[in-house]
Amino acid sequence: MVSSTTLVDLLRHGEPEGGDRFRGLRDDPLSDVGWRQMRRAVSGQHWDLLVTSDLRRCQAFARELSRRRSIPLEVDPRLRERDFGAWEGLRPEAVADREALQASYDDPVGHGPPGGEPAATMIERVEAAFADWLLRARGGRLLLVCHSGVIRVLIAGTLGIGLGHVMRGVQVPYACRTRLRIDHDDDRQLRCLSAHGTFDG
């Protein structure tokens, strides 16, 4: 039986310009604070492969890190945040339909923003991307620079728990780094040995 371990770090982007709001496909750049958060978050770490969302708040920093550390870089649009539809650009307190907002927190798979990407669609694309990059990085160290929703999907899927539980119970602040240790016992079996967050933001 062939066994190997892949270490995966999930790094959320830093603070974007404009502060906290529903920001799915809205392509705001990092603020100066966000750049500082990201640089602190990767201090003293090393990876064999770097994969980033194509949105600016992730990709700009990932390109800088790749260049400075000579880490191979790939850009994958499947690691984008969920499209928040009618809520794009709004702060949570500005959403008029409070019941719909609460329902999206309580049951993110069954309820979502009007006109937004269905959660099931997002889960499918994110998990497909993760499976592809795990194969590519098998036995090494992989860094994914992405978004809070993507990170929660991957935590839920890897640990085998509901996304609603992760949405309610897992905080993913700006520049948070969450590590997954994946044991590949053979080509058919994948399990997570540990997951923890490093809150650098």
Q: Using 50, 70 and 90 to split pLDDT, how confident is the model at 193?
A: very low
Q: Assign 201 to helix, strand or coil.
A: coil
Q: In angstroms, what is the C-alpha Rg of the chain?
A: 16
Q: Which two tokens stand for residue 197?
A: 């967050």
Q: Domain span at residue 154?
A: 4-199
Q: What mean pLDDT is predicted for residues 80-106?
A: 94
What CATH number is given to the structural domain containing 64? 3.40.50.1240
Percent over 90 (pLDDT), the chain? 77
Specify the number of domains making up the chain: 1
Mean pLDDT, the chain, rounded, equals 89
List of long-range contacts for 195-199, beta carbons under 8 Å, 24+ apart: 195/155, 195/158, 195/159, 197/170, 197/171, 197/172, 198/41, 199/173
The pLDDT tens digits of the residues spanning 17-72 come to 999 999 999 999 999 999 999 999 999 999 999 999 999 999 999 999 999 999 99
Q: pTM of the predicted model, to two decimals?
A: 0.89
Give the whole-angstrom CA distance, residue 185 versus residue 101: 41
Provide the pLDDT for residue 160. 87
The pLDDT tens digits of the residues spanning 144-167 come to 999 999 999 999 998 888 888 888
Block residue for tokens 């928040």: 84
Give the whole-angstrom CA distance, residue 101 versus residue 162: 19
The single-letter DSSP state of residue 30 is B
In residues, how long is the chain? Answer: 201
pLDDT at residue 101 greater than cutoff 80: yes
Provide the pLDDT for residue 3. 57
pLDDT at residue 95 greater than cutoff 80: yes
* Contact (CB, 8 A) for 50 and 63: no
Q: What mean pLDDT is predicted for residues 168-174?
A: 89
Q: How many CB atoms lie within 10 A of CB 91?
A: 12
Q: Assign 151 to helix, strand or coil.
A: helix
Provide the pLDDT for residue 185. 67
Looking at 104-118, 154-168, 174-188, which range is the least confident one? 174-188
